[in-house]
Amino acid sequence: MAFKYKKRTLLILGIILLIPILFILVPKHTFTKKLHSGGSTAFNFEPPKFDGNTSTKAKKLTGADGPYIIQKKGKTVAIDVIPTSEGFQVLEKKIENKLAHEFTCYVDNFDKDQFTFQLRPSYEIPPYEYPEPQKLLALSDFEGNFDAFYSLLIANCVMDTAYNWTYGEGHLVIAGDMMDRGVNVTQCLWLIYKLEQAAEKVGGRVHFILGNHEVMNLHGIIDYVDPKYLALAMELSDDKNPRTAYLSLMSQNQELVKWMYSKNIMEKIGDMLFVHGGISSKLVQSKLKLKRINRTARRMLSTNNALSPAEDKDARLINGRMGPLWYRGMAVKHGKRYEKATPEEVEKVLKRFKVNHVVIGHTPMRQMKTDYNGSVVTINLLQPKAKFTGKAKTLLVEDGVFYSVNDLGIKEILD
């Protein structure tokens, strides 16, 4: 009997001694991910692909990608991943005049789509408040799903099959999370980039509002990144650690990254507030204004608060579970973390930001819907992976009326 107790004591002591070793060996971003994940939602969220694993195992190029337009030693270089008879190959090309050059983006899909674009001369910080347009299309969380994104834009006359902007003075709103999980992340980003410039020329507007997955990628959190991107990053950097390799790919030497660094995380359009996650009572109580929230978020992108404690209390709130990138309470009860927002809390959000509606993504829902008597609109749906199925849906606001519209152009008034 004494031997049994002694054995149990030794086992407990061994476990206690192992705990600090685990904290040293397991990457910090694993705990960051777990801080924000979990709980009861409309769906069971997909488990991460890597969960902090920084394995040095070789990863393969598995599809077309690019271009990555990067500044290297004062020179502009365009990097593409192209198909060959022996698989996929990285092609690197020096660009003499990047502003005059017409780049081609090759889509990794069955149709082998492609489009061209040119670079902006500079990246200006956009306004955070706009008058309401006559028509507006809003979507979120497409995460590299080019085909559904493409078909919604075509069916709703945002662009034509030659990738020309055809929405006039209308607005296209992307409420975050175009990155991670999918295999056409770069292609989706370049399409938004291209349409943004075209819209501005005719009085329209494209709003790219950052979500938590954009921030995670810029901070080198690779839990949801498709292996094809890690393979490219490791090959370009000659770094066998996928996380540090990917961080080098997400540096400000890359044009798409510089462009994303200029973006907002919350924007007010007419009487609508667009935000990726949602607005918590803690954010309301902070009395932070839109300008300061967006300015803090942009500063947060270059100071990696996701991987280490932030001394800045504003940044801690904005990138925390009660911040606008992560908060789910306007859509669901989030496990044991917090209850679903009360009508009184939502009313305080509307009053604080002087709007009648808050449009949110982030939390996947079975169908697009309004809640709190129309005050909250949830637009993150599980989208099909194919074009023109009639099942891809997004939000249309036309003359102040809210519709659910699909990738065949069929619209229904939202309840």
Sign of CA dihedral 343, 347, 353, 357: positive
Whole-number pLDDT of residue 223: 95
Q: For residues 278 and 360, is the Cβ–Cβ distance under 8 A? A: yes
Whole-number pLDDT of residue 59: 75
The domains of the chain are located at 65-117, 129-413
Which alpha helices (DSSP H) does 219-312 contain, by range?
Answer: 227-237, 242-249, 255-260, 281-286, 290-302
CA distances from 143 to 153, 157, 160 (A): 16, 22, 22
Which alpha helices (DSSP H) does 276-364 contain, by range?
Answer: 281-286, 290-302, 313-318, 343-353
Rg of the Cα atoms in the chain: 22
Residue pointed to by tokens 């997909």: 46
Q: How many alpha carbons fall within 13 Å on the CB side of residue 127?
A: 8
Is the pLDDT confidence value at 29 over 60? no
Return d(Cα 410, Cα 10) in angstroms, integer. 67
Return d(Cα 369, Cα 413) in angstroms, integer. 10
The share of the chain scoring above pLDDT 70, in percent, equals 84
165: β partners: 159
Whole-number pLDDT of residue 16: 57
Instruction: Quick: pLDDT tens for 55-66.
Output: 545 578 999 999
Q: For residues 52 and 37, is the Cβ–Cβ distance under 8 A? A: no
Confidence of residue 33 (pLDDT cuts 50, 70, 90): very low
Q: What is the mean pLDDT of residues 185-204?
A: 98
Q: Is 276 left (phi over 0), alpha (psi -120 to 50) or beta?
A: alpha
Instruction: Quick: pLDDT tens for 247-283.
Output: 999 999 999 999 999 999 999 999 999 999 999 999 9
Return d(Cα 396, Cα 380) in angstroms, integer. 14
Is the pLDDT confidence value at 312 over 90? no
Return d(Cα 89, Cα 81) in angstroms, integer. 6
Whole-number pLDDT of residue 175: 98
334: β partners: 338
Is the pLDDT confidence value at 376 over 90? yes
The DSSP code for 10 is H
Whole-number pLDDT of residue 58: 57
Higher pLDDT, 206 or 37: 206
Q: For residues 112 and 67, is the Cβ–Cβ distance under 8 A? A: no
Instruction: Quick: pLDDT tens for 389-406.
Output: 999 999 999 999 999 999
Other beta carbons less than 10 A from residue 49's beta carbon: 15
Is residue 3 classed as helix, strand or coil in its secondary structure? Answer: helix
Q: What is the mean pLDDT of residues 177-184?
A: 97
Tell me the whole-structure pTM to 2 decimals: 0.87
Return d(Cα 408, Cα 387) in angstroms, integer. 10
The DSSP code for 358 is E
Element (H, E) at 6: helix 2-25
Largest CA distance in the chain: 85
| Pairing state between β 75-84 and 87-95 | antiparallel
| Pairing state between β 129-130 and 266-269 | parallel
3-state helix, strand, coil in the chain (%, to 5): 30, 20, 45
Q: How many alpha carbons fall within 13 Å on the CB side of residue 394?
A: 28
Return d(Cα 349, Cα 283) in angstroms, integer. 9
Return d(Cα 341, Cα 127) in angstroms, integer. 28
Is the pLDDT confidence value at 225 over 80? yes
Could you tell me which CATH class the domain 129-413 is placed in? alpha beta
Is the pLDDT confidence value at 308 over 50? no
For 196, the token pair is 């943004």
Whole-number pLDDT of residue 405: 98
Is the pLDDT confidence value at 22 over 60? no
CA distances from 200 to 114, 132, 169, 171, 386 (A): 22, 16, 9, 10, 29
Confidence of residue 215 (pLDDT cuts 50, 70, 90): very high
Prior bond of 67 cis (ω within 30°) = yes
Q: What is the mean pLDDT of residues 322-347?
A: 96
| Chain mean pLDDT for the chain | 88
